[in-house]
Structure 1
Amino acid sequence: MKAIAISTLILASSLTMAADYSIDPAHSAVTFKIGHLGVSTTVGRFNKFEGEFSFPDDAKSGKASLTVKTSSIDTNHEARDKHLRSPDFLNVKQFPTLSFNSTKFDGKTLTGDLTLHGVTKPVSFDVKKVGEGKDPWGGYRAGFEASTTIQRSDFGITYFIPGVTDATKIEVFVEGIRK
C-alpha cells in the first residue's frame, strides 16, 4: 500500500513538473509595429535576443524571460535604424538591453515586468501555443506566439508623438529547445 502511495505521489508530481526551454533565436523573432504620420505602419524587429521559458504539463502556469539587445533594431532602413538607436528613441548606449521577466501565466495571458529605456512597467501578453514535439535531432521543442501593445511614452520615449504613434504593438514568436 505504501509503494502505491509513493508511486501516486511521483506520478502526480511529474504531471505538474515544468519543462525548461532555451529560446532558439534561429527560429524565433521579436517584432514591433508602429504607426507613421497616420498613413502607414512601420514594421521592425530585433535581431539579437536570448531567453528561456518553462511551462508545466497543465499549461496553466509557467514563466518566461527575454533579454533583447536594443542596438540590434532593424527596420530595413539604415538611416532610420541609426535614429532609433539615438537618444531620441532607444538610446542604446545608455540602455543596451530591454528585458521582460514574467510574474504570472494563466495559460492564455503572460504578465510580467518589461524594462525599456530604464523604466520598468507591468505588461500582459496574449499567448497562443503553436505546438510541441520531438525534433529530428533527438530533442524536444515547443513554440508560442505572444503579443501586446504598449504606450512608448510610459517608458519615457516621447519623441515625435503623434507623428510616430505612442501605441507600439510588440509580437514575440518563440521556439524553445528543451534543456
Structure 2
Amino acid sequence: MSSIKNLPTGTWAVDASHTEVGFVARHLMVTKVRGSFPEVSGTVTVAEDVTASTVDVTVGMASVDTRSADRDAHLRSADFFDVENYPTMRFVSTSFDGEELSGELTIKDVTKPVTFEVDFNGVQADPWGNTKAGFEAETEINRKDWGLAWNAAIEGGGVLVSEKIKIVLDVQLLKQA
C-alpha cells in the first residue's frame, strides 16, 4: 500500500467505468449474494492536510445488478429501494483520519452515519496522460436502519435475506485539471 500522503491535492472525479460499488448479503443464511451499482458519480476534494479532504458520491439505485433479473426487479421495488420514489443513494463525508472515512449515508431519505475502513492503493498515470488514484473501502450496515425491512421467514429457521449488509468499494479516481 502507498502512503495516502502521496495523493495530490485538488479535485478528483469518480471514474465510474473503473469503480465498483458492491454489496454482499446472506441468502437463506447459508450463501452470499453479491451485487453492485454500476451507476456512480462523485467527487473527492483532497486538501493539503489529507484529513481535511471531502467525499461526495451519488449512486443510481436503479442500476442494481445481482446477475438475476427477477431479484434486481424486486430490489428496485417498494419492498427494498423503491427507486421510483428514491432514485439515488448518497454518501457525504464528515471526517477522514487517513484510514477511516466517516460520513452520512442516505438511502430512501433516511440518513445515518457510517464509517468505512479505507486502503489507499496508490497514484498512477495512465497511457493517455491522466492521473488516477485507487482505493478500497469496506463497511457493514444493518439495512433495517434505512427502512429496508422486507424479509421472509424460511422453513428451517432464519430468514431469506440477512439484516447485515457488507458494502465493498473498489474506487478509481481521475484527477481533474
Asked if TM exceeds 0.5, the reply is yes
Aligned residues with identical type, % of pairs: 38
Q: Which residue of 2 aligns with 1:129?
A: 120
TM-score by structure 2 length?
Answer: 0.88
- In the alignment, structure 2 segments of 5+ residues that lack a partner are 1-5, 153-158
Structure that is richer in helix per residue: 1
Aligned partner of 1:10 in structure 2 is none
Runs of 4+ in 1 over 4 A off after TM superposition: none
Secondary structure, in 3 states, of the residue corresponding to 1:26? helix
Q: Out of 36, 41, 53, which is 2:27 matched to?
A: 36
Is it true that 1:177 corresponds to 2:168 in the alignment?
Answer: no
Superposed CA RMSD in Å reads 1.8
Q: Match of 1:20, as an amino acid? A: T
| Residues 40-79 of structure 1 aligned to structure 2 (within 5 Å) | 40-56=31-47, 59-79=50-70
2:7·2:122 contact (CA, 8 Å) conserved in 1?
Answer: no
1:82-108 CA-to-partner distances (Å, cap 9, x unmatched) read: 011001111100100000000111100
What stretches of structure 1 of length at least 5 have no aligned partner?
A: 1-14
Alpha-carbon distance between aligned partners in 2 of 1:82 and 1:135, rounded to the nearest angstrom: 37
Shift of 1:25: 0.7
| Matched-pair contact (CA < 8 Å) for 2:41–2:58 | yes
When the two structures are superposed, what TM-score results if normalisation uses the length of structure 1? Answer: 0.87
Q: Give the aligned residue type for 1:90.
A: F
Aligned to 1:110: 101
Matched length? 165
| Larger CA Rg, structure 1 vs 2 | 1
